[in-house]
């Protein structure tokens, strides 16, 4: 047994809207290596979130309400995002802004996956935002896995035994933490 609780749920958030995003592929690769019985779902709808506005009335069937439900029911979150202009992407920052006031986010276990060794500014900025929001960053599960030049699909990422082992170890650490 891997130490995760039965039915442990992990939510993946991608900071890129590109269909062929290496960060999206990294999240899907993480889902593949996640130990059983953990369920890993990538939230595919961050691009439909309206710009954050605290005055906006959130309808129960809105993209914001769906994000809140996804986060609330998750035991842990994995975030993978590219770096734009030395920072996190606008789409990811907008999603996180919608989560700032969500009580269920506070104390949530979060792992940050970085697909580029050059993306150190975004990684640091994301960690700062998550810390400010009260997330519990799981360091053993937060890794940089340089994927420059790797085709943007999960099979290509996992084809390299060193990348697969690193991702497997990171997701096992997250599953152990989320199961406690």
Specify the 3-state DSSP secondary structure of 110.
strand
Q: Are 100 and 133 in contact (CB under 8 A)?
A: yes
Ordered by where they begin, the domains of the chain are: 9-178 (3.40.50.360)
8-state DSSP, 52: P
Q: What are the tens digits of pLDDT across the range 86-145?
A: 999 999 999 999 999 899 999 999 999 999 888 899 999 999 999 999 999 999 999 999
Q: What are the tens digits of pLDDT across the range 45-66?
A: 899 999 999 999 999 999 999 9
Q: Are 115 and 26 in contact (CB under 8 A)?
A: yes
């Amino acid at each position: 047994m891997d130490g995760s609780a039965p039915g442990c749920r992990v939510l993946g958030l991608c900071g890129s809207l590109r269909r062929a995003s290496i960060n999206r592929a990294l999240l899907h690769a993480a889902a593949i290596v996640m130990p059983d019985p953990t369920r890993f779902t990538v939230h595919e709808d961050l691009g439909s979130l309206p710009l954050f506005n605290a005055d906006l009335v959130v309808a129960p069937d809105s993209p914001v309400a769906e994000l809140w439900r996804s986060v609330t029911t998750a035991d842990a979150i994995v975030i993978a995002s590219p770096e734009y202009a030395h920072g996190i992407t606008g789409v990811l920052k907008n999603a996180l802004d919608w989560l700032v006031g969500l009580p269920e986010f506070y104390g949530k276990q979060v792992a940050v996956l970085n697909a580029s060794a050059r993306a150190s500014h975004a990684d640091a900025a994301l960690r700062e935002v998550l810390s400010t929001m009260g997330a519990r960053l799981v360091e053993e599960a937060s890794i940089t896995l340089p994927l420059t030049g790797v085709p943007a699909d999960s099979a290509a990422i996992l084809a390299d035994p060193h990348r697969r082992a690193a991702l497997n170890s990171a997701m096992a650490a997250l599953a152990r933490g989320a199961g406690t």
